[in-house]
Amino acid sequence: MDPVILVLNSGSSSIKFTLYWGEAVQFKGQISGLGATPRISLASRVSDTKVDRALTADEGRSHGAALAALLPVLEQELGERTVDAVGHRVVHGGVAHTEPVRLTKEVLADLKALEPLAPLHQPHNLAGIAAAREAFPEAMQVACFDTAFHRSHPWVNDTFALPQPLYDEGVRRYGFHGLSYEYICSYLKQAHPEIYAGRLVVAHLGNGASMCAIRDGKSIGSTMGFTALDGLPMGTRCGQLDPGVVLYLLTTKGMSPDAVSDLLYKQSGLKGLSGISQDMRTLTQSSDPKAAEAIEYFVFRIRRELGGMAAVLSGLDTVVFTGGIGENSALIREKVCEGQEWLDLEIDPARNAACAEVVSTDTSRINILVIPTDEEAMIRHHTEELLGNSR
């Protein structure tokens, strides 16, 4: 029988889940609003099962309680089958974890120690793992890291210009969104091998946003650094910032480290700039000049990084847009590509408006592609591989 793999992506207030066996996704859904107004919604891809209901406060009080509420639906869908392995998205694998790994007590202790490096994600990823270990005690538990794909990047993009001992203790540019970049590469390798073999920049533009320069399927540079704060502005995160600003906030303004952390992670980016929303759809539909300014800054930073990455790659053959904004916003893609004829990069307005896979013109030397990312498929792939190796 095909192995049954459950993929979990646990965030602060949500758990996204996908169940696989055979060729297809069996069902997909999420528990949202944990700790506030919890809700479960899922839809089977192979049966009529559809669930969309509020969870009780008790069911939604923790990741563990929410997974327990999901179990009866899962069991009904599984029938005679059991979950063989659970694959988890884990944001930070540190220096040590360069590939997916089976979760043991030792690995979990390693990952816990990395919590300060990804305070917005890592604790919730680990809460999801604890809940899954309890709910599926017989299943293999696997961690797949957002940092792993970038461990190949060269030293110059791994270090900061700080004294070497800090590098040695792990103060490095880790880069994130690695599962998304890995998926895009695996898709290109199969569907467009000639593009895969070239110089690529992938822009993963979602609520979290980053860009990655890729050569021969390997990351050689990423806009994200030590934490997922660096690089592009995001929904609520600031992106690139002069560290002097942090010193000013701490010393001159006397803000506490917690207050600075809250400001940089939760009050900045599109939300902070616009004062309206962190949601790009809301901003693109707004006529408020503040929304336009936030969009302008977002686009400016993408263009700046694109130029830098083209230089680092010694040229550019393909730009890929992915993530919620990259996949859906023709406006952002158009603005990023505007006036880039000097690079021989030209977007086709009709193809772009239709969100076609190839949105460059026929005469553009640089390909511009829109590819929906699928981090869950990557996690399934790795989990199945580790499961296969263990049998």
Residues with a catalytic annotation lie at 146
SS3 category, 193: helix
Q: Quick one: which H or E segment has residue 90?
A: strand 85-90
Euclidean distance between CA atoms 346 and 132, whole angstroms: 47
284 forms part of the interface with ligand ADP (CB under 6 A): yes
Residue 58 CB, nearest distance to ligand ADP (Å)? Answer: 27
280 forms part of the interface with ligand ADP (CB under 6 A): yes
178 forms part of the interface with ligand ADP (CB under 6 A): no
3-state DSSP helix/strand/coil % of the chain, to nearest 5: 40, 20, 40
- In 3D space, the residue among 2, 25, 14, 1 whose CA is nearest the CA of residue 376 turns out to be 25
262 forms part of the interface with ligand ADP (CB under 6 A): no
361 forms part of the interface with ligand ADP (CB under 6 A): no
Selected range binding ligand ADP among 79-87, 193-201, 220-228, 318-326, rule: CB under 6 A: 318-326
Selected range binding ligand ADP among 62-70, 190-198, 200-208, 253-261, rule: CB under 6 A: 200-208
- In 3D space, the residue among 390, 315, 386, 387 whose CA is nearest the CA of residue 345 turns out to be 315
Site for ligand ADP in 203-232 (CB under 6 A): 206-208
What DSSP string runs through 205-247?
ESSSEEEEEEETTEEEEES--SSTTSSS--SS---S--HHHHH
Is 210:204 a contact under the CB 8 Å cutoff? yes
Q: Which residue's CB is nearer to ligand ADP, number 26 or number 328?
A: 328
DSSP 264: H
Q: Could you tell me which residues are beta bridge partners of residue 286?
A: none
Residue 16 CB, nearest distance to ligand ADP (Å)? Answer: 9
Selected range binding ligand ADP among 97-105, 128-136, 211-219, 321-329, rule: CB under 6 A: 321-329
Q: Quick one: which H or E segment has residue 5?
A: strand 5-10
329 forms part of the interface with ligand ADP (CB under 6 A): yes
Q: Which residue's CB is nearer to ligand ADP, number 227 or number 328?
A: 328
Q: What are the angstrom distances between the C-alpha of 44 and each of 29, 277, 333, 376? A: 9, 32, 33, 16
Euclidean distance between CA atoms 158 and 151, whole angstroms: 8
- Distance from CA of residue 311 to its chain's centroid? 25
DSSP 94: T
Residue 42 CB, nearest distance to ligand ADP (Å)? Answer: 17
Selected range binding ligand ADP among 66-74, 259-267, 277-285, 299-307, rule: CB under 6 A: 277-285
- Candidate residues 114, 238, 323, 379; the one interacting with ligand ADP per rule CB under 6 A: 323
Other beta carbons less than 10 A from residue 319's beta carbon: 29
Q: Which residue's CB is nearer to ligand ADP, number 44 or number 180?
A: 180
Q: Which residue is nearest to ligand ADP (CB)?
A: 324
- Candidate residues 4, 324, 333, 376; the one interacting with ligand ADP per rule CB under 6 A: 324
- Candidate residues 50, 53, 281, 304; the one interacting with ligand ADP per rule CB under 6 A: 281
Q: Which residue's CB is nearer to ligand ADP, number 5 or number 232?
A: 232
Q: Which residue's CB is nearer to ligand ADP, number 231 or number 235?
A: 235
Q: Which residue's CB is nearer to ligand ADP, number 3 or number 239?
A: 239
9 forms part of the interface with ligand ADP (CB under 6 A): no
171's tokens: 């103060």
* Number of residues engaging ligand ADP in binding (CB under 6 A): 13
> With 0-12 CB in 10 A as exposed, 13-18 as middle and 19+ as buried, what is 268?
buried
Is 39:33 a contact under the CB 8 Å cutoff? yes
Compute the Cα dihedral for 350, 356, 360, 362 and give only its sign: negative
77 forms part of the interface with ligand ADP (CB under 6 A): no
Q: Which residue's CB is nearer to ligand ADP, number 225 or number 235?
A: 235
Q: Which residue's CB is nearer to ligand ADP, number 159 or number 207?
A: 207
Compute the Cα dihedral for 35, 38, 41, 42 and give only its sign: positive
Contacts to ligand ADP by CB under 6 A: 206-208, 235, 279-281, 284, 323-325, 328-329
